Amino acid sequence: MAVAAVLLVGGTPQAAHADPPLTVEEAKSQVEQLRTEAAAIDQEYVAVKQKLSAGRKQLATKQADVKVQTTRVNRIRQQVGQVALARFQNRSLDTAAQLFFTEDTDGFLSKVSTVEKVSENQNATLQDYQAEQGKLAELQRSAAIDVASLKKQNIALRQLRKASDDKVSEAESTLTKLTAEERARIAAEEKKAREDAQKAAEAATTSGAITTSGDPTSTDPTSTDPGSTDPTNTATNTATAGSGKGARALAFAKAQLGKPYQFGAEGPGAYDCSGLTMAAWKTVGVSLNRVSWDQYGQGRNVSQSELQPGDLVFFYSNRSHVALYVGNGMVIHAPRPGKSVEYIKMSYMPFNGATRPG
């Protein structure tokens, strides 16, 4: 809340008005937005971290290549020194003069042929040296570029982490503007939402057949809820919760319920959203990329009406959040800072595509 100040307007002191107090709904909206933004930053952080890890491996390989190439160049440099010495020692008489003074013409010409061969080899040695020296210089230049790039990526990681922490701190600051009773009310509402989601998800997985998309609590054909069931699909919009890779991946995710969201975590004690989906599908032999928007491109894209248990469901315009589909419009996910792996209605977030890995 802004601190009241005294302003001088036209020479007359006037008290500035404090910001009006937030309503509970406004505070909830602000906090959710800030925490969602923090989770999106988390995915950017993971992407940069992944790039940094690959860059470090690439740099290590180049540095090893530089070491090998340096040894090769030093060896050829010794040969070049021997070539230079040999040319210096044989510079006194040219071939025509030596032929004039020799008595063994045939023997001398045979030697000349051998010398010319040696000269060719010497030239080849010099050319090899120049080529290998060029390769060494290029490797050193490339490695230096990689070092500079890694430094920039390290800076980017620190900046992203700070940005996320700032979002979380701002969310906490927003909550402190509420009364204790208002904060307790929000906590109670969140608890009830988790319990309701748990019951709906358990009902979806224990029934013989489950609706593959939509909010089971929304049956109004005129509903504009993006997660509501499409009445035109009710005849075919079902899938069993039985076997298959998706169901097994989903079973792993369920075993993680209650584990905390943690920035950049991929288990086993904590997860971020894409860390959870990656770990779940890894248990059935499917390797997913680490970042949510990259996971969207793996497997077969499916429509909302085709969703089956274990499918990856993506949210927000940049697909910065990912969850695993449970059934009856429910997903399981690692939500954002301050929360734990949980069930949630898919309609609570803006749907932006789905993928069936494997």
Catalytic residues: 273, 321, 333
The residue with tokens 């032999």 is: 285
Using alpha carbons, list the distances in angstroms from residue 157 to 97, 263, 337: 73, 12, 17
Amino acid at 24: V
Cα–Cα distance, 127 to 117 (Å, whole number)? 15
Task: Retrieve residue 103's tokens.
Answer: 């008595």
Return phi, psi of residue 219, to 5°.
Answer: -115, 5
How many helices, marked H, and strands, marked E, lie in the chain? 7, 10
**Is 267:282 a contact under the CB 8 Å cutoff?**
no
Nearest CA-CA partner of 299 in 268, 278, 276: 278
Strands (E), 41-181: none
Tokens of 344: 């949630």
